[in-house]
Amino acid sequence: MLRVAILDDYQQVALAMADWSRLGTDVEVVALPHHLGDVETAAAALAEFDVLVMMRERMPVPRALIERLPRLKYMIFTGSHNTVIDLAAAAERGIPISRTAMRASPSAAEITWALIMAWMRHIPQEHAAMRAGGWQTTVGMNLHGKTLGLLGLGTLGSVVARYGKAFDMNVIAWSPNLTPERAAAQGVTAVSREDLFRQADILSIHLKLGPRSTGVVGAAEFELMKPSALLVNTSRGPIVDEAAMLAALKQNRIGGAALDVFDQEPLPADHPLRKLDNVLLTPHLGYVTDESYKGFFASAVENIAAWRAGQPINLYEAGLRSA
């Protein structure tokens, strides 16, 4: 019997999102709803599995874990890239790793706008007040005429830019390789890094996480921002220096933050971000849609079936990076 573990199935929907029976009667598929937070816990839970199916980068798989999984033969993650698997350790064991097929999805750009709209019109507060019997407890703000600053104007940043233009916002952007010509082609004005932070009423992050982007928004950047500015992060938590962000929020140096991503996920129950009034939080919902999940898990089934036939698809190596 080949045993397949689906990790971090928080909503307990993975088994219904694809036809896992295609893998055959000699395959047992088990969905684990709880995050396995450390190597010791993960090693105990996964020791009897041959295949791991991972949702994006929810579950780190370092060398210490790989070495404690004697039956592990194959790993697959949903999405296009992964920075939390020790690829070199897997290669040494001869464990192939695949990624699922990816189609361009607007889901991350849409959650960005859900956060922005909820912040500008105080939707969470007004919803809570209505539930409690209240009526009109806050005064909102228009998007029209405000400046949307985009830290990154790639695939997702460009979609967010179009949404901003639809709201008649002034859209500006900066990234290390952005040219004025490429920005203008998107109807966006390229500005300097400093001016991006100085001018933005809403600063939305759309960079990929890597050595150059880790901590790129720190204390100096928060000092440049308007005291009324909103920071929006739907990309990756470590792009923002968490300590600097907490200090800026506690001291009201910026208006607030709307966050879908965090340094540690799931976010600990006692994390200080959960206690701040000037923060809007969602639990990394950017890619969590019915359409995305169905695509992810159907592709996972296809990958496992191909691997069993001796030919993995979408083989992922990425320089055999060590996590």
Tokens (6 digits) for 268: 């600990």
Tokens (6 digits) for 49: 């599995």
Q: Does 144 qualify as catalytic in the annotation?
A: no
Q: Specify the DSSP class assigned to residue 239.
A: G
Distance set, CA 66 to CA 251, 297, 323 (Å): 43, 23, 11
Q: Which amino acid is at 258?
A: A
Per annotation, catalytic residue among 253, 265, 271, 308: 265
Q: In angstroms, rounded to a whole number, what is the distance separating the alpha carbons of residues 75 and 207?
A: 26
Q: Does 99 qualify as catalytic in the annotation?
A: no
Closest-CA residue to 161 (of 184, 195, 193, 194): 184
Per annotation, catalytic residue among 58, 99, 206, 284: 284
Q: Does 3 qualify as catalytic in the annotation?
A: no
Q: In angstroms, rounded to a whole number, what is the distance separating the alpha carbons of residues 167 and 146?
A: 9
Tokens (6 digits) for 236: 């990756």
The H or E element containing residue 3 is strand 2-6
Q: Specify the DSSP class assigned to residue 255.
A: S
Per annotation, catalytic residue among 57, 58, 236, 302: 236
Q: Is the preceding peptide bond at 266 cis, omega within 30 degrees of 0?
A: yes
Concatenated DSSP letters of 158-183: HHHHHHHHHTT-EEEEE-TT--HHHH
Active site positions, annotated: 236, 265, 284
